[in-house]
Amino acid sequence: MDYCTPDQAELKLGESDTVIEELRMYDAGISFNAVKYHIFNAFYEAVGQYGPGVKPLTYLEVKVPILKNEVDFTHKTLKVHIDE
């Protein structure tokens, strides 16, 4: 079987928008199963509404709120167990 890197696949298959999007997901490490979640499709649609000039979020703008929520959740869970 002939394997190819994402760059080679892009060259072989041309400028298909679908192929390029799939390669971006692969390159970013986003699981292809993510497209099964309705929230992913809603996110994708919301980004598309802003148009091509939308400024992408930085790594910190994504990471900090998510980690803060996880820390808060962990503290609440621990508090419940400590109180018992």
Statement to judge: residues 38 and 73 lie in one domain: no
Statement to judge: residues 76 and 39 lie in one domain: no
Task: Please give the structure tokens belonging to residue 13.
Answer: 């298959």
Statement to judge: residues 47 and 60 lie in one domain: no
Statement to judge: residues 84 and 68 lie in one domain: yes
Over residues 60-77, the pLDDT tens digits come to 887 888 888 899 999 999
Domain that holds residue 1: 1-53
Statement to judge: residues 77 and 41 lie in one domain: no
pTM: 0.41
Task: Please give the structure tokens belonging to residue 44.
Answer: 């994708």
Contact 34, 42 (CB under 8 A): no
Over residues 20-54, the pLDDT tens digits come to 566 677 777 777 777 788 887 788 788 778 877 77
